[in-house]
Structure 1
Amino acid sequence: MNYAEISGKLETISAINITPFDEETREVNWDKLEENIRFLLDHGIQSIVPCGNTGEFYSLTIEEAKEEIKRVVEIVNGRALVIAGIGYALPIAIELGQYAQQAGADAVMIHQPIHPYVTDRGAGSYFKKIIETLDIPSILYFKDHNLSDNVLKELAPLEKLIAVKYAINDLPRFAKTVREIPDEHQITWICGTAEKWAPFFYHAGARGFTSGLVNVYPEKSLRMLEALHNGDQEQVWKIWEDILAFENLRAKYNNGNNVVVIKEAMAQIGMNPGITREPVDPLQAEDRAEVQAILQSWGLLPKQEIT
């Protein structure tokens, strides 16, 4: 397997697909999942991440997570990279990773451990054991600001570690780490906090970014990626201003709105995203109205009285 080649393909948008749950049964609606994945593929998305946080990974059972990975691999059928999200306890993460490998995923994204008691050495051991057990390459999801970036520096020489999804919005810290890890390790740095932060991370060394917005308006996200790659600063900041209110709304309530804003926007434009599962609750009325206003400003909904 050419790990460097896969690493290079991550200089793009990592689309975190949603997981649609039926309103009555609260079970995964697999037909709606397929609609979501085909929508992303039809709009030219080159990297799809089932079982990410926007996919409500931690509300899924292990069997649901496996089924989502398998189905996404089958639907994508080689048209894009499939990066399977894995996590939970170490044996479960390895089990999910091995399943993703057998199912045909191109790589795994290792969620940061959510255990309340985490140390640098413990997290490093967790990541390393998963990476070394699998044949397919790994991406680290790094978002706990209490963990030292020394964890990344120690793991960077591993051949099968091909990228880091960095989701700590501390740009000097990120830039310093990027510059201290040698290029020879061929790590692709990915902004893990979406379009709002992508321009800042790009100038500090990231070459791709994650996105939930692509489930709603992929054209907007792809234009930002193109502008970043082309150095078109005027276009970058024009798009940034246009998506800012949407991303700020997702960040409301300490990011509690992250998923439900995406699903509400999809629902308002007729895309059948299903509901969210606990602990994510339905969007409040004032936030639904703001979603509607943003969609209208983007031309995705007709101008009308906001209800």
Structure 2
Amino acid sequence: MYKDFKEALKGINAINITPFDERKNIEWDLLSKNIDFLLENDIKAIYPGGNTGEFYSLTVDEVKKVTKFVVEHVNGRAKVIAGIGYDYKTASELARYAEDIGADGVMIHQPLNPFMLENGLVEYYREISGSTTLPVVLYVRQKIITINVLKEVLQIPNVIGVKYAINDLLSFAEIVQEVNEDIVWICGSAEMWAPFFFMAGAEGFTSGLINVDIKRSAQMLKALKGMQFQEAMKIWKEVRPFEELRAKHDNGNNVSVVKEAMKQIGLSNGIVRAPIASLTDEEVNELRNTLVNWGLITEILT
């Protein structure tokens, strides 16, 4: 069941940006350019409304509009997995909307409620997954989403993938070994962690870098699929400065680095919404040097 959808997850899961104009409204022309860039480079799984797409900076209405725009623009050329979240009623509404407009699947964002228990999480995921017939991917970022929670939730028929973004490889390996369901495990911490997660059982990885540079992400995937881990680590060394800059300030730079890099190579304008903020001048220069080293631009600022 969901065979084609699962195959799309076993690769690069592209989290596209949500571009804004100077007034912080959605810039649809730049979103179109972003999606075209991904499609032209044969990306098979695209996630509007992901964290790199600033999901929590968008209103519910904007999430719907972005999802609809991407679904229509992709027009069947890739699988579109819509980010959904907030309270379970809103997430369920977003899931039904995604199904109605022709999305291929949904990804349930990490719950933000400060008070959570295992049985409450199971109910949360059951309610949302039960609101749609689309395949569901879980986005796991918090240790409260334990192996006990996953064992129960992954028995739901349409929950078929897990984007795992807790950088605890021992826990991840244990969960992969313990959960016997036919699940696609995705490294949710991008290229920086992909080689290590693949060793522990991941079959795909998410990427924000893919909005900037297809080449290195594709090379890493090819190396990992071929179990050429030495080659994968060479690419890892190249992308490490970019990903470490994204991880700075407790991941506060995550989106800003991607958008600034796109600005520097002419793919977007770099504008983010609060509470995300633009990079410092020093960080802009550091990023520029990385892009120069990759051959994407030519000028180094000092």
Larger mean CA deviation between 113-122 and 83-92 belongs to 113-122
C-alpha separation in 2, matches of 1:246 and 1:258: 10
Shift of the alpha carbon at 1:206?
0.3
The question of whether the paired residues in 2 share the 8 Å contact of 1:7 and 1:186 is answered with no
**1:74-89 superposed matches below 5 A:** 74-89=72-87
**1:162-177 superposed matches below 5 A:** 162-177=160-175
2:235 matches 1:239:
yes
Shift of the alpha carbon at 1:214?
0.2
C-alpha separation in 1, matches of 2:2 and 2:199: 25
Q: Which runs of 5+ in 2 are unaligned?
A: none
Match of 1:29 among 16, 27, 31: 27
Shift of the alpha carbon at 1:274?
4.3
Aligned to 2:255: 259
**1:200-239 superposed matches below 5 A:** 200-239=196-235
- Aligned with 1:108: secondary structure? strand
Shift of the alpha carbon at 1:21?
0.7
- TM-score when normalising by structure 1: 0.96
Aligned to 2:286: 290
C-alpha separation in 1, matches of 2:153 and 2:297: 46
Shift of the alpha carbon at 1:305?
4.0
State how many pairs are aligned: 302
RMSD (CA atoms): 1.0
The question of whether the paired residues in 2 share the 8 Å contact of 1:51 and 1:69 is answered with yes
Shift of the alpha carbon at 1:147?
3.1
2:110 maps to a residue whose letter is: Q
Q: Deviations over 1:122-180 (max 9, x none)?
A: 11111111111211110000110233221111111211011000010000100000001
C-alpha separation in 2, matches of 1:54 and 1:34: 16
2:266 matches 1:306:
no
Aligned to 1:6: 5
Q: Which runs of 4+ in 1 moved over 3 A?
A: none
2:75 maps to a residue whose letter is: N
Shift of the alpha carbon at 1:118?
1.4
Match of 1:249 among 230, 233, 245: 245
1:267 maps to a residue whose letter is: K
The question of whether the paired residues in 2 share the 8 Å contact of 1:22 and 1:274 is answered with no
- Aligned with 2:142: secondary structure? coil
1:174 maps to a residue whose letter is: F
2:14 matches 1:15:
yes
Aligned to 1:91: 89
- Aligned with 1:133: secondary structure? coil
C-alpha separation in 2, matches of 1:89 and 1:22: 29
Q: Deviations over 1:56-84 (max 9, x none)?
A: 00000111100000010011111111000
Match of 2:128 among 130, 143, 150: 130
C-alpha separation in 2, matches of 1:172 and 1:32: 40
C-alpha separation in 2, matches of 1:291 and 1:72: 28
Residues 1:93 and 1:292: Cα distance change in structure 2 (over 3 Å): same
Q: Which runs of 5+ in 1 are unaligned?
A: none
Q: Deviations over 1:22-53 (max 9, x none)?
A: 11x21001111010000000011110000000
Aligned to 1:118: 116
Match of 2:138 among 134, 137, 140: 140
The question of whether the paired residues in 2 share the 8 Å contact of 1:19 and 1:55 is answered with yes
